[in-house]
Structure 1
Amino acid sequence: MISSYSTVAPSREEVDALPGPTLVEFGTDWCGFCKAAQPLLAEALAAAPALRHLKIEDGSGRALGRSFKVKLWPTLVFMRDGREVGRLVRPASAELIRQELGRLGTVA
């Protein structure tokens, strides 16, 4: 699992062109909700080691987050072949994350 949010984001076109399952996580390293979600993510992602995980810093003027209409952090966008198939905002449990991963077919 990636530990820090990347300040360099791919373009929306690049994300939409990614093949297979992808989790795009929007947040910031200083966000309390984001910090609280990290153990839940680590637990859930342990069952999906091959999943592509993009951890993107979001904020005012950040084009990728705006293109996904992100309002609260963390926002988890579950994608398959460049299309959004699920979304969780401020996930409350690892089980909710696992359920979305299961829909992607990535849980071992």
Structure 2
Amino acid sequence: MSIPYSPAQPERSEIDATPGVLVLDFGTDWCGHCRAAAPLIEQALASAPDARHIKVEDGSGRKLGRSFKVKLWPTVVVIKDGKEVARVVRPDDAAEVRRALES
């Protein structure tokens, strides 16, 4: 079973100040696309053990998702040392996410 999306959201300033690799996974627990992509995202993350993964519950009025201009779920944003380096929207295979992690 995958980890649920968290309604608790870090501030954008915290994200921008985070060293290393951070993976933001925007979506909701009730989203069918999110449930289908979850095992693919987790499989890709297994190849990047140093990456920190945060599942962010997104929706109307959620500031963090709006600051990253998230439009569809799931959206996976890869951040390195506070800068976005890759983005995958509705991944349909683990290799797609793995390539983003290698950016």
* TM-score (normalizing by structure 1): 0.91
- Name the amino acid aligned to 1:43: Q
Distance between the aligned counterparts of 1:42 and 1:69, measured in 2?
23
Aligned length: 103
State the 1:9 CA deviation.
Answer: 0.1
User: Secondary structure of the residue that 1:96 maps to in structure 2?
Assistant: helix
Unaligned regions of 5+ residues in structure 1, if any? 104-108
Distance between the aligned counterparts of 2:16 and 2:74, measured in 1?
20
Other-structure match for 2:96: 96
Asked if 1 retains the 8 angstrom alpha-carbon contact of 2:5 and 2:28, the reply is yes
Residue correspondence of structure 1 range 15-94 to structure 2 within 5 A: 15-94=15-94
> What percentage of residue pairs aligned between the two structures are identical?
58
* TM-score (normalizing by structure 2): 0.95
- The Cα RMSD (Å) is 1.3
- Name the amino acid aligned to 1:22: L
Moved over 2 A (4+): none
User: Secondary structure of the residue that 1:78 maps to in structure 2?
Assistant: strand
State the 1:102 CA deviation.
Answer: 1.6
Deviations 1:9-44 (A, max 9, x none): 001111111001110110000000000001101211
Distance between the aligned counterparts of 1:50 and 1:20, measured in 2?
8
Asked if 1 retains the 8 angstrom alpha-carbon contact of 2:9 and 2:56, the reply is yes
